[in-house]
Amino acid sequence: MPEPVNLAQKLSLFSEHWSPKIVAAYNGNDVIVVKVKGEFVWHSHPETDDFFLVLKGRLTIRMREGDVTLGPGELYVVPKGVEHCPVAEEETHLLLIEPAGTPNTGDPETAVVKEKI
The pLDDT of residue 62: 98
Q: Give residues with Cβ within 8 angstroms of 98, minimum separation 6.
A: 29, 30, 32, 45, 48, 50, 51
Give the per-residue pLDDT at 103: 74
Q: Write down the pLDDT at residue 72.
A: 98
User: Is residue 35 within 8 Å of residue 11, measured between CB atoms?
Assistant: yes
Give residue 114's pLDDT: 83
7-116 under CATH 3.30.930.10, yes or no? no
Task: Please state, in angstroms and rounded to a whole number, the distance separating the CA atoms of residues 28 and 21.
Answer: 16
Cα distances (Å, whole numbers) of residue 48 to 10, 44, 45, 51? 25, 9, 6, 9
Pairing of strands 68-70, 50-56: unpaired
Whole-prediction pTM value?
Answer: 0.91
Q: What is the pLDDT along the chain (117 residues), one digit of tens a residue?
A: 888 999 999 999 999 999 999 999 999 999 999 999 999 999 999 999 999 999 999 999 999 999 999 999 999 999 999 999 999 999 999 999 999 988 776 777 776 778 899
Confidence (pLDDT) at 104: 75
Predicted confidence at residue 108, as pLDDT, reads 73
For position 49, what pLDDT does the model report? 94
